[in-house]
């Protein structure tokens, strides 16, 4: 097992190869429980757990609980009893929000111009949402999902509602049992990832950092993207808006990426190997089309088409590639803004 | 695998959220209504090779996000589009009211010559209609747009909308009003040999762009 510190590019490399080797299975319930003492206090360091999550991933059975720690829904310092209290408080708070919402809804409909519009957008997105598994079984309760999204829109004036949230929240809904858990996990996720997926807040910064990253690590490609391939990078905003949800073949892969480093999402949640891994992930994805782009001298539109075809990816491979990019980056002389962004 | 076609046209599908843009695209490509579809965040692509006036044309269709907050970022997709379906929902006045803004975007960002067809979608929901055919016809006339009412659900007029737009572009190429060789025209020649047969309009050598998409 490697100990991972952001400044240590060697350990990032080790993590990268560790992920690919899959020497150890994902953390299961028994192992997860062994991280805590008899009172439910953490017996291992938070770093130890996060590195393990990054390198090995979580078994679906422990995901719900682990995510509560990763997002900040539970404190890492809490005991089992405290967590029970936290859960009950969160449930009550959620119910209070629901009641408040019911009271003010008529007012919002009459006075708030954007409310009805957003309400329609949400209804429309939910209606279109593909909610079945490969066998055609219904996976989620759309009514409940709609309610959570509306509440989130009203209660979170920073993020408001953005198309795509419905798909993200669906993934939270699939992971947990109760609505209050879905609601709060999503709120904490947004907070923990510094609204990295919100187009009006974090996405622009991600794109800017992605361009800078390419300029440092791959000047030839950067040159092409400034010339003939202009506009391609800016057009990749959906990757960030959806936290790469459409790039993977399974929900498990999406969760795996999100839980990997939690400053921005779970690999976007553990904060390992660094902050803002999503930009390294995007860089790694662009590298997948790089050869073809340069060989064929692709235009911005053609690059976008090629990137749009990056689907059914494997989360382990992508996280591993992102760790390698990180390792490479920190062997270079990195300008301060980029350093601050990733450290 | 190379497809053979005479021209490739870049098309946009634009309009407010929830007007059925993706469903129109889906109906055109797959010939069926898409019941469950993901919303579009950035852009989705579809392409189909059609026969118009004796020419084979590959339509490369860019279906864009409709939500307001994505508007500024999706504008970059407009560049070099030859045609556009401008879509509103006949049961929603609000989507109709925002047409002018979408049209301005298309003409300023794609090209002033972009060929636009106005589509009043959800024709099948006539009892819930909020925008009359006459009113939309006037808007189309004032803004020099073609106009059809469509239904992505039944497929009515969907094919016609795309083909009508493609035919108009071809006519404009024939009459010389549109120059495929101009940068950002949204038109490309299908293959090199065909290109050779044509009399070059300008002395400048133009490299034909093979399309591998």
Which pLDDT tens digit goes with each residue over B95-108? 999 999 999 999 99
Does the pLDDT at position A250 exceed 50? yes
Average pLDDT in the A319-329 region? 89
DSSP string, B115-154: EEEEEEE-GGGGGG--S-HHHHHHHHHHTT-EEEE--TTT
What pLDDT, on a 0 to 100 scale, did the predictor assign at position A195?
93
What pLDDT, on a 0 to 100 scale, did the predictor assign at position B179?
83
Structural domain for B43, as ranges:
5-187
Average pLDDT in the B2-28 region? 90
Report the C-alpha gap between A46 and A43 in whole angstroms.
9
Average pLDDT in the B88-95 region? 96
- Any domain includes B172: yes
CB within 8 Å: B41 and A129: no
Residue A121 with chain B: CB contacts under 8 Å: 17-18, 67
Q: Where are the beta strands (DSSP E) in B55-195?
A: 55-64, 83-89, 115-121, 146-149, 187-189
CATH code of the domain in which B18 resides: 3.40.50.300
Report the C-alpha gap between B212 and B199 in whole angstroms.
25
8 Å CB contact between B37 and B25? no
Report the C-alpha gap between A145 and A76 in whole angstroms.
28
Does the pLDDT at position A273 exceed 60? no
**Predicted TM-score (pTM) of this structure:** 0.84
Report the C-alpha gap between B152 and B30 in whole angstroms.
11
Q: Which residues of A33-46 are buried (b: 16+ CB within 10 A; e: fewer)?
A: eebeeeeeebeeee
Q: Long-range contacts made by residues A47-51, C-beta under 8 angstroms, separation at least 24?
A: A47/A3, A47/A4, A47/A272, A50/A4, A50/A261, A50/A262, A50/A270, A50/A271, A50/A272, A51/A1, A51/A2, A51/A3, A51/A4, A51/A15, A51/A270, A51/A272
Does the pLDDT at position B204 exceed 80? no
Does the pLDDT at position A225 exceed 90? yes
What pLDDT, on a 0 to 100 scale, did the predictor assign at position B65?
82
More confident residue, A260 or B28: B28
Does the pLDDT at position B51 exceed 90? yes
- Any domain includes B212: no
Residue B42 with chain A: CB contacts under 8 Å: 235-238, 241
Of chain A, the percentage scoring pLDDT greater than 70 comes to 93
What pLDDT, on a 0 to 100 scale, did the predictor assign at position B206?
43
Does the pLDDT at position B203 exceed 60? no
pLDDT in tens, B55-88: 999 999 998 887 878 888 888 889 889 999 999 9
Average pLDDT in the A104-123 region? 89
- Any domain includes B195: no
User: Residue A329: which pLDDT band, with cuts at 50, 70 and 90?
Assistant: confident
Based on the structure, what is the number of domains in chain B? 1
| B2 contact partners, CB below 8 Å, separation of at least 6 | B191, B210
pLDDT in tens, A145-173: 999 999 999 999 999 999 999 999 999 99
Residue B208 with chain A: CB contacts under 8 Å: none
Does the pLDDT at position B205 exceed 90? no
What pLDDT, on a 0 to 100 scale, did the predictor assign at position A99?
96
8 Å CB contact between A15 and A334? no
What pLDDT, on a 0 to 100 scale, did the predictor assign at position B96?
97
8 Å CB contact between A237 and B73? yes
Average predicted confidence (pLDDT) for chain A: 88
Does the pLDDT at position B137 exceed 60? yes
- Any domain includes B202: no
Residues 41 to 80 of B: which have CB under 8 A from any A CB?
41-45, 65, 67, 69-70, 73, 76-77, 79-80
User: Residue A239: which pLDDT band, with cuts at 50, 70 and 90?
Assistant: very high
What pLDDT, on a 0 to 100 scale, did the predictor assign at position A18?
77
Give the best-scoring range by mean pLDDT among A221-235, B44-58, B175-189: A221-235
Cis peptide leading into A273, omega within 30 of 0?
A: yes
Return the structure tokens found at A317. 């491979």
- The residue among B8, B15, B18 with the most chain A CBs within 10 A of its CB, best to mutate, is B18
pLDDT in tens, A58-80: 999 999 999 999 999 999 999 99
Pick from B22, B65, B213: CB nearest A305: B213
Report the C-alpha gap between A335 and A236 in whole angstroms.
23
Q: Which residue of B has its CA nearest to A246?
A: B38
More confident residue, B181 or A123: A123
Report the C-alpha gap between A249 and A263 in whole angstroms.
24
Does the pLDDT at position A92 exceed 90? yes
What pLDDT, on a 0 to 100 scale, did the predictor assign at position B133?
97
User: Residue A264: which pLDDT band, with cuts at 50, 70 and 90?
Assistant: very low
Q: Which of B97, B17, B9 is nearest to B64 (CA)?
A: B17
What pLDDT, on a 0 to 100 scale, did the predictor assign at position A135?
78
CB within 8 Å: A162 and B45: no
**Which residues does residue A32 pair with via DSSP β-bridges, in sequence order?**
none
- Any domain includes B152: yes
Average pLDDT in the A3-14 region? 59
Boundaries of every domain in chain A:
7-342
CB within 8 Å: A304 and B43: yes
**Which residues does residue B85 pair with via DSSP β-bridges, in sequence order?**
B13, B117
What pLDDT, on a 0 to 100 scale, did the predictor assign at position A254?
92
Of chain B, the percentage scoring pLDDT greater than 90 comes to 57
What pLDDT, on a 0 to 100 scale, did the predictor assign at position A341?
87
Does the pLDDT at position B146 exceed 60? yes
Return the structure tokens found at A29. 């319930």
8 Å CB contact between B114 and B84? yes
């Amino acid at each position: 097992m490697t100990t991972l510190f952001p400044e240590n590019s060697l350990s990032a490399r080790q993590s990268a190869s560790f992920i690919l080797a899959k020497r150890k299975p994902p953390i299961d319930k028994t192992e997860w429980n062994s991280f805590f003492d008899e009172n439910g206090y953490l017996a291992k360091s938070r770093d130890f757990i996060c590195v393990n999550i990054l390198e090995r991933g979580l078994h679906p059975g422990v995901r719900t609980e682990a995510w509560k720690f990763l997002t900040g829904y539970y404190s890492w310092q809490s005991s089992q009893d405290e967590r029970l209290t936290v859960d009950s408080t969160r449930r009550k708070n959620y119910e209070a929000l629901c009641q408040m919402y019911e009271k003010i809804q008529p007012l919002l409909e009459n006075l708030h111009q954007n409310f009805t519009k957003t309400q329609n957008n949400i209804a429309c997105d939910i209606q279109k949402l593909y909610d079945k598994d490969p066998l055609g079984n219904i996976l989620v309760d759309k009514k409940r999902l709609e309610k959570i999204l509306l509440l989130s829109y009203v209660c979170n004036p920073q993020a408001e509602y953005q198309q795509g949230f419905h798909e993200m929240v669906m993934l939270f809904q699939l992971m947990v049992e109760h609505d209050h858990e879905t609601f709060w996990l999503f709120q904490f996720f947004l907070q923990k990832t510094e609204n990295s997926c919100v187009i009006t807040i974090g996405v622009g910064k991600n794109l800017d950092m992605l361009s800078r990253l390419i300029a440092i690590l791959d000047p030839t490609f950067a040159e092409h993207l400034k010339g003939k391939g202009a506009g391609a990078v800016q057009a990749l905003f959906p990757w960030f808006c959806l936290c790469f949800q459409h790039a993977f073949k399974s929900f498990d892969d999406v969760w795996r990426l999100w839980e990997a480093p939690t400053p921005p999402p779970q690999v976007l949640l553990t904060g390992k190997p660094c902050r803002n891994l999503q930009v390294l992930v995007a860089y790694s994805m662009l590298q997948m089309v790089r050869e073809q782009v340069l060989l064929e001298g692709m235009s911005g539109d053609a690059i976008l088409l090629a990137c749009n075809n990056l689907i059914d990816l494997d989360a382990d491979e992508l996280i591993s590639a992102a760790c390698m990019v990180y390792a490479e980056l920190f062997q270079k002389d990195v300008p301060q803004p980029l350093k601050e962004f990733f450290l | 695998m190379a497809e053979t076609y005479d021209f490739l046209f870049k098309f946009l599908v634009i309009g407010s959220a929830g007007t059925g843009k993706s469903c129109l695209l889906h109906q055109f490509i797959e010939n069926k209504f898409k019941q469950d579809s993901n919303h579009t965040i950035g852009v989705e692509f579809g392409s189909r090779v059609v026969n118009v006036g004796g020419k084979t044309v590959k339509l490369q269709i860019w279906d864009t996000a409709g939500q307001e907050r994505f508007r500024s970022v999706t504008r970059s997709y407009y560049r070099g589009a030859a045609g556009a379906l401008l879509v509103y929902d006949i049961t929603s006045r609000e989507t109709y009211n925002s047409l002018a803004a979408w049209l301005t975007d298309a003409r300023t960002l794609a090209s002033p010559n972009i060929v636009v067809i106005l589509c009043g979608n959800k024709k099948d929901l006539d009892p819930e209609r909020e925008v009359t055919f006459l009113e939309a016809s006037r808007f189309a006339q004032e803004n020099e747009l073609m106009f059809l009412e469509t239904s992505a659900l039944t497929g009515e007029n969907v094919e016609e909308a795309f083909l009508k737009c493609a035919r108009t572009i071809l006519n404009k190429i024939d009459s010389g009003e549109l120059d495929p060789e101009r940068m950002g025209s949204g038109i490309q020649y299908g293959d090199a040999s065909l290109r050779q047969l044509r009399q070059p309009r300008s002395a400048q050598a133009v490299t034909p762009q093979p399309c591998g998409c």
